[in-house]
Structure 1
Amino acid sequence: MRISMSGTRRWMLATALCGVLITGCSGGGDDAKPQAKPAAEPKPLAVGALRPMLLSQADLGTGYVQVQEKPDSEKFDDVSVQGCSALEKLGQSGDETMFAAKAETSFTYDTDATLGEELHSDRPSVLSSKLRKLFGAYTSCPTYTMTAGTTPIEVKVAKSATPQLGDEQFAYTSTMELPSGAQVLKTMAVRKGNVAVMLVGAPALVDRQMKTAVGKLPSGS
């Protein structure tokens, strides 16, 4: 598994997202007798169509500063996870993206808090099954150990409440025992049709901005 190590803020953000890069998983088949063909699902949106839906400083208000992202090849270092078989399996997938299209951005808030956003697009059934797998893996282990270099970091995970937005909602909170002290991050995703919004950062910022993020999705998605 790999996470960003270019500064404490980016390192913590990527820690919460390290399981996003997993291999494709099947939503399951049905061998029952043939039925009438279901209506065709909406196709995935292209990356270029996702980018205008990302949050901006104007959407978030005062105090937020957008962070310039580096290419993936420049911002990752190896880390490992022990004590959670589901997360270890996610980490074996390499750098294959989870969904058909992805766009992302991140912000600092008042210099010491962070908010990261990812938009993913795929067929609705694929988004649903893979989000369930991802969040199911993270919430399957109440504690695990992550090693960055030679430093072991204890992580505690708990499911979190979600707002009634979109078609599906998922959330959990991570508490990491860092050398500088305990740090808490919240990860929340909302699927609306063929687009999913994922926010990661300080719990108060994620709770405050998710409605705004979902509101930028097209009504037909």
Structure 2
Amino acid sequence: MMRISTSGTRRWMLGTAVCGVLITGCSGGGDGGGAKPQAKPAAEAKPLAADALRPLLLTQADLGSGYVQVQEQSGEQKFDDISVQGCPALEKLGQSGEENMFAAKAEASFTYDRDATLGEEVHSDRPSVLSSKLRELFGAYTSCPTYTMTSGTTPIEVKVSKSVTPELGDEQFAYTSTMELPSGAQVLKTMAVREGNVAVMLVGAPALVDRHIKTAVGKLPAGS
């Protein structure tokens, strides 16, 4: 059984992975004068600070009528009673704890017409780190088509499937999860787009995520 890490997982159960994006040069021989010096790796963009990420979050003005922003709870309050069984990749992810943290984060949550939700996180780190951890995270959550999540003493069956992503940013990731709750099935879509050293993640009703992901990505700094 895996206890979900508050540092690596939000309410929408995001996850991470690996892709080195450092550009390395090539070396070659001259006509008789020896090898050319090897090109230096391109310098990666540094992470932005949390204060610089907050203005990048969606606002009620961006979303339109019907949305109400809600106060965030601390990570400890949100996840200290949630565990997962039946998915080895998620168990391994939960054990990594602080290793799944990005350098900086800002977040916001909204309700829509009272019964729908939309959550957003904006993360920043070096591009190679963001890419690596996003691939690991989304890889873990899409590795098991079904697993059981326990909230307190209530077992919840979860079904997961990969989702199509729009051509935005440098990398895109998405999956849809269906949770069989006592009150009925709830469907959530999780989508992340990385643009350089910043990544935006949305989770909520699939229609809301699809409707607002382009606006969310559009708020990221160009060439970040």
So what's the TM-score if we normalise by structure 1?
A: 0.86
Which of 208, 211, 215 in structure 2 is aligned with 1:208? Answer: 211
Q: 1:94 to 1:3 in 2, by over 3 A?
A: closer
Residue 45 of structure 2 aligns with which residue?
42
DSSP-derived class of the 1:66 partner = strand
Which of 48, 53, 73 in structure 1 is aligned with 2:56? Answer: 53
Which of 188, 193, 196 in structure 2 is aligned with 1:190? Answer: 193
Residue 88 of structure 2 aligns with which residue?
85
Residue 8 of structure 1 aligns with which residue?
none
Residue 118 of structure 2 aligns with which residue?
115
Residue 16 of structure 1 aligns with which residue?
12
Paired residue type of 1:139: T
Q: Within the alignment, does 1:149 sit opposite 2:152 as a pair?
A: yes
Give the paired residue count. Answer: 209
So what's the TM-score if we normalise by structure 2?
A: 0.85
Q: What's the C-alpha RMSD, in Å, of the aligned pairs?
A: 2.6
Q: Within the alignment, does 1:178 sit opposite 2:181 as a pair?
A: yes
Structure 2 portions without partners, runs of 5+: 28-36
**In 2, Cα distance between equivalents of 1:194 and 1:79:** 30
Q: Is the 8 A contact 1:108 1:114 kept in 2?
A: yes
Paired residue type of 1:127: L
Q: Is the 8 A contact 2:5 2:97 kept in 1?
A: no
Which sits farther off after the overlay, 141-150 or 48-57? 141-150
| Percentage of matched positions with identical amino acids | 78
Residue 106 of structure 2 aligns with which residue?
103
1:36 is displaced (CA, Å) by 2.1
Structure with larger Rg: 2
Residue 94 of structure 1 aligns with which residue?
97
Which of 137, 140, 143 in structure 2 is aligned with 1:140? Answer: 143
**In 1, Cα distance between equivalents of 2:169 and 2:138:** 17
Structure 1 portions without partners, runs of 5+: 5-12
1:25 is displaced (CA, Å) by 7.5
Paired residue type of 1:110: D
Q: Is the 8 A contact 1:3 1:78 kept in 2?
A: no
